[in-house]
Chain A
Amino acid sequence: MAHIEVVRRSMRPEEYTDLRFGWLKRHIYEDKTEITSFRIREARQTAEMQFEFYDAEPRSLRRGDLYFTPDGTAFIEADAVIPEKYIGKEIRFVLKTAAEMIVKVNGKYVGGIDPNRENLLLSPYLDSDTIHIEITAYNRSKPDDERNPESLSVRGCRQIFEGGYLAVVNDDVQSLVYDMELLLNIAKSDCSPEDYRQLINRELAHAMDLLDFDDLRNDDVKAASDYIEKHIFADQRYGGCGNVALVAHSHLDIAYYWRRIHAVQKNLRTVLIQMRLMDRYPDFRYAHTQAYTYETVEKYYPELFEELKEKIKNGQFEPVGAMYVEPDCNVPSAESLIRQCLYGQMFYRKKFGITVDTCWLPDVFGNSWILPQILKKSGVTYFVSNKMSTWNDTNRFPHNNFIWKGIDGTEIFACVPPTHFISWNMPDQIQKNWDAFQDKDTGTETLQMFGYGDGGSGVTEEMIELMHRFDKISVMPKTRHVTAHEFLSENFTDDKKLPVWDGELYLEMHRGTFTTKSEIKRWNRQLEYKFRNAEILSVCRLLRGEDYPADELRELYKKLLINQFHDILPGSHITPVCRDAIADYEEINQSLDSILNESGNTYFNTLNFTRNSLTFIENENGCVCRLGKKGFYAVPNLPGLSSGKIEKTTEEYTWLSVRDTVETPFYSIKLNPDGSICQILDKQLNRSWIKGNFNKLVLYYDYPGNYDAWDILPDYRNKQESLTITETCHLTYQDNETAEFTTVLRTEKSVWKMILRVFRQSRAIEVEHDVDWHEKHRLTKVEFSPDILTRELLCDTSAGFIKREMTKNTTWQQARFEVCHHKWFDLSETGGGVAVINNGKYGVGISDDSVSLSLLRSTIRPDPTSDMGHHAFSYLIVPHTGDAVAAGINRLAFEYNVPLLRADENLNFPVNGLYLQSLKLSEDENYIVARLSEQNGARGCLTGIGPFTLMDLLETPQRETDFYAFQPFEIITIGFQVKNTEKQTHSDIFLTKR
Chain B
Amino acid sequence: MEQYINEVIRPKIQGDGGEITFDSQDGDTVTVIMQGECSKCLILDRCIAWIESQIENDLGEKVTIHAIRKKPFFWDT
Contacts and interface: CB of A to CB of B under 8 A. Distances in A.
Contact of B35 (A141, A258, A576, A860): A860
A752 interface: no
Interface residues of B, number: 25
Contacts of A302: none
B47 to A, nearest CB: 5
Contacts of A141: 16-17, 37, 41
Contacts of B18: 70, 157
Interface stretch (A364-372, A682-690, A700-708): A700-708
A219 to B, nearest CB: 43
Interface string B9-39: 1011111111100000000000000011100
A44 B46 CA distance: 18
Q: For chain B, what secondary structure do more than half of its interface residues adopt (helix, strand, loop), or is it mixed?
A: helix
A442 interface: no
Interface of B: 9, 11-19, 35-37, 41-44, 46-47, 49-50, 72-75
Tell me which of B17, B41, B43, B50 has the highest count of chain A C-beta atoms within 10 A of its own C-beta: B17
A913 interface: no
A158 B47 contact: yes
B42 A155 contact: yes
Given A69-B50, A156-B43, A156-B47, A864 B16 contact: no
5 contacts: A66-B50, A70-B50, A157-B47, A258-B15, A708-B74
A865 interface: yes
B12 A69 contact: yes
Nearest to B13: A70
Interface string A702-731: 010110100000000000000000000000
A70 B16 contact: yes
Given A157-B18, A576-B14, 16 more contacts: A69-B12, A70-B15, A71-B14, A71-B15, A142-B17, A143-B37, A153-B42, A156-B43, A156-B46, A157-B43, A258-B15, A574-B17, A575-B14, A703-B73, A860-B35, A862-B36
A153 B42 CA distance: 8
Q: For chain A, what secondary structure do more than half of its interface residues adopt (helix, strand, loop), or is it mixed?
A: loop
Nearest to A259: B15
The 7 A-B residue pairs with the shortest CB-CB distance, nearest first, are A71-B15, A158-B46, A156-B43, A575-B14, A70-B12, A864-B19, A705-B74
Interface string A849-876: 0000000000011111100000000000
Contacts of A72: 12
A257 interface: yes
A153 B43 CA distance: 9
A139 B13 CA distance: 12
Contacts of A705: 74
Given A70-B18, A141-B41, A576 B11 contact: yes
Nearest to A578: B14
Contact of B16 (A157, A706, A708): A157
A142 B15 CA distance: 11
Contacts of B47: 70, 156-158
A66 B36 CA distance: 23
Interface string A571-583: 0001110000000
Contacts of A66: 46, 50
Contacts of B16: 70-71, 139, 141, 157, 257
A71 B72 contact: no
A574 B14 contact: yes
Contacts of A157: 13, 16, 18, 41, 43, 46-47, 50
B21 to A, nearest CB: 9
Nearest to B19: A864
Contacts of B17: 141-143, 257, 574, 862
A143 B40 CA distance: 11
A865 B21 CA distance: 11
A864 B35 contact: yes
Contacts of A862: 17, 36
In this complex, the interface size class of chain A, counting residues with CB under 8 Å from chain B, is 20 to 34
A238 B28 CA distance: 71
Contacts of B43: 155-158
Contacts of A864: 19, 35-36
Contacts of B42: 153, 155-156
Nearest to A704: B74
Nearest to B41: A156
B71 to A, nearest CB: 10
Contacts of A575: 14, 19
Contacts of B37: 141, 143, 257
Interface in A129-169: 139, 141-143, 153, 155-158
A220 to B, nearest CB: 39
A483 B77 CA distance: 44
A115 B41 CA distance: 17
Nearest to B15: A71
Tell me which of B11, B16, B46, B75 has the highest count of chain A C-beta atoms within 10 A of its own C-beta: B16
A716 to B, nearest CB: 15
Nearest to A44: B12
B68 to A, nearest CB: 14
Contacts of B75: 706
Contacts of A44: 12, 15
A157 B44 CA distance: 8
B56 to A, nearest CB: 14
Contacts of A706: 74-75
A865 B50 CA distance: 24
Contacts of A574: 14-15, 17, 36
A537 to B, nearest CB: 38
B59 to A, nearest CB: 15
A44 B73 CA distance: 31
B50 A71 contact: no
Tell me which of B37, B46, B49 has the highest count of chain A C-beta atoms within 10 A of its own C-beta: B37
Contacts of A69: 12, 50
A329 to B, nearest CB: 25
A143 B14 CA distance: 14
Nearest to B39: A864
A861 B35 CA distance: 10
Nearest to A861: B72
Contacts of A258: 15
A576 B11 CA distance: 7
Contacts of B15: 44, 70-71, 258-259, 574, 576
B50 A158 contact: yes
A865 B49 CA distance: 25
A265 B55 CA distance: 30
A575 B15 CA distance: 7
Interface string A606-628: 00000000000000000000000
B50 A708 contact: no
Contacts of A156: 41-44, 46-47
Interface string A85-101: 00000000000000000
A259 B15 CA distance: 8
Nearest to B45: A158
B72 A860 contact: yes
B12 A71 contact: yes
Interface string A182-214: 000000000000000000000000000000000
A118 B16 CA distance: 22
Contacts of A863: 36
A863 B37 CA distance: 10
A44 B16 CA distance: 11
A264 to B, nearest CB: 15
A258 B43 CA distance: 20
A157 B15 CA distance: 10
Nearest to B9: A70
A468 to B, nearest CB: 37
Contacts of A861: 36, 72, 74
A705 B75 CA distance: 9
Interface in A61-84: 66, 69-72
Nearest to A575: B14
A257 to B, nearest CB: 5
